[in-house]
Structure 1
Amino acid sequence: MNGSIRTLFWDIGGVILTNGWDRNQRKRVLSRLGVDMEAYEEAHERANYYWERGLITAKEFFAQTVLTPNPELDLTFEIVWPQVCAESKVLHPECLDMLAELKGQGRYRIATLNNESRELNGYRLDAFKMRSLFDYFICSGSVHEMKPMPGIYRSAVDISGFEARTALFIDDKEENCEAARAVGMNAIRFESPQQLCLALADYDVHVSSLEMV
């Protein structure tokens, strides 16, 4: 493994930031707005398939799941969307430090590989000033496929321009890591910044930002 890694692919939600629009976030925002959560979750399951694959827009998604089913609440996309975005926070600032250091080393191509709608992904990259930390971005909302389906990993490898065995993928879900390994990529299941730092060293990828921890 030593010295063979050319590209580092990072998940975002659960590794660097909080998730984008998970069940707890939905409950906090929509309950506050008076939305019936049981009815919403049924609509969410149907519409989210298309939203996270970039097949419908955020406005279309929330029209289908929140606005049209709840006309009595007099909600608009302009009311709902900022509250959705406000749910995103930095989960592990140490990972941002690690990314900055790895980018500065210039030894690797660094990319995202995440499941997220196009709009929410764009907001999060801008709001947390992450665009400069990556060379390119592979998001389900742009490539129209989601982890753990093999197509998104194959797209990542093809876009990288290198062989799958030279790619290292970091994700907090084991099923996503297993899917990456199935197409020939290396993968680390993220548990903590400290654990990730040690796991990266096994691939001869070194960061000094956590050496003192």
Structure 2
Amino acid sequence: MAQTSSITTLFIDIGGVLLTNGWDRAARKLAASTFSLDPIEFEERHHLTFDTYEEGKLTMDEYLNRIVFYEDRSFTRDTFKEFMFSRTEPYDEMIEMVCRLKEKYGLKIAIVNNEGRELNQYRITTFGINKFVDFFISSCFVHFRKPDADIFRIALDIAFVQPKEVLYIEDRAMFVSVAEGLGINGLLHVDYASTKEKLASHGLIL
């Protein structure tokens, strides 16, 4: 179909847009309860080291050594990992919408997200994100994480597009603002219905 929009490329976050956030505060709170961890110490250790994990500078095992397995536990590392992976659920309507937009308008699709490598790979493959996405500019791959503007610059280079050609779909206002500061069109995602309306305002109509 002929292009009817100036947008040629979508940059999309995963957590909060295509999938649930996965290993977020609520999941960690549940983990602390499930595995009888001190919730305050667990959360503090997480915040001290998680950025490094998301930037691809730690493996999941190294991250877990710092936040959980710095002392003997009554549960195994594999059991804890399985719990972490189990926290993800898909937003099927959003995934379907992105696939339809790609097919209808011939869009390039790029993921721009903050995620540790093992969680990222699990979430991408388990929920079929790799089946319709062209590029993955994930923090664990490029060693920059939002809100660092360089992750968006790298995404523009990899996708080989100008900022004005890109629409960035993200559920965090700060990250949208950073992208808009580079000339990228921003779309703050709240829910499926409002995002569908906002897409139409950019000429991407389903």
TM-score range, shorter chain: over 0.9
- Structure 1 residue 106: deviation in Å? 5.1
What is aligned with 1:154?
153
CA distance in structure 1 between the partners assigned to 2:202 and 2:43 by the alignment = 41
What amino acid is the match of 1:89?
E
- Structure 1 residue 179: deviation in Å? 0.3
What is aligned with 1:22?
24
What is aligned with 1:118?
117
What is aligned with 1:167?
166
Q: How many residues align?
A: 203
What amino acid is the match of 1:151?
D
Structure 2 SS opposite 1:15: coil
CA distance in structure 2 between the partners assigned to 1:45 and 1:13 by the alignment = 18
Aligned partners of 1:67 and 1:76 also within 8 Å = no
- Structure 1 residue 103: deviation in Å? 2.5
What is aligned with 2:43?
41
What amino acid is the match of 2:158?
I
> What TM-score does the superposition give when structure 2 sets the normalisation length?
0.94
What is aligned with 1:210?
none
Structure 2 SS opposite 1:14: coil
What is aligned with 1:211?
none
What is aligned with 1:200?
199
> What TM-score does the superposition give when structure 1 sets the normalisation length?
0.91
What is aligned with 1:190?
189
Task: Pick the aligned partner of 2:12 from 7, 10, 13.
Answer: 10
Runs of 4+ in 1 over 4 A off after TM superposition: none
1:88 maps onto 2:97 in alignment: no
CA distance in structure 2 between the partners assigned to 1:41 and 1:185 by the alignment = 34
CA distance in structure 1 between the partners assigned to 2:134 and 2:80 by the alignment = 31
What amino acid is the match of 2:46?
H
Residue by residue, what CA displacement relative to the aligned partner does 1:37-79 show, whole Å, maximum 9, x if unpaired?
11111111111010011110001000111011x31x2333212
More moved, 97-106 vs 114-123: 97-106
CA distance in structure 2 between the partners assigned to 1:109 and 1:129 by the alignment = 16
Q: CA RMSD in A?
A: 1.3
What amino acid is the match of 2:33?
S
Identity over aligned residues, as a percent? 33
| Residue ranges of structure 1 left out of the alignment (5+ in a row) | 208-213
What is aligned with 1:99?
98
CA distance in structure 1 between the partners assigned to 2:146 and 2:83 by the alignment = 26
Residue by residue, what CA displacement relative to the aligned partner does 1:92-124 show, whole Å, maximum 9, x if unpaired?
321011022122225210111111111101101
| Residue ranges of structure 2 left out of the alignment (5+ in a row) | none
What is aligned with 1:140?
139
What amino acid is the match of 1:198?
E
Aligned partners of 2:22 and 2:89 also within 8 Å = no
Aligned partners of 1:20 and 1:116 also within 8 Å = no
Structure 2 SS opposite 1:110: strand
Residue by residue, what CA displacement relative to the aligned partner does 1:106-146 show, whole Å, maximum 9, x if unpaired?
52101111111111011011111221121111111111111
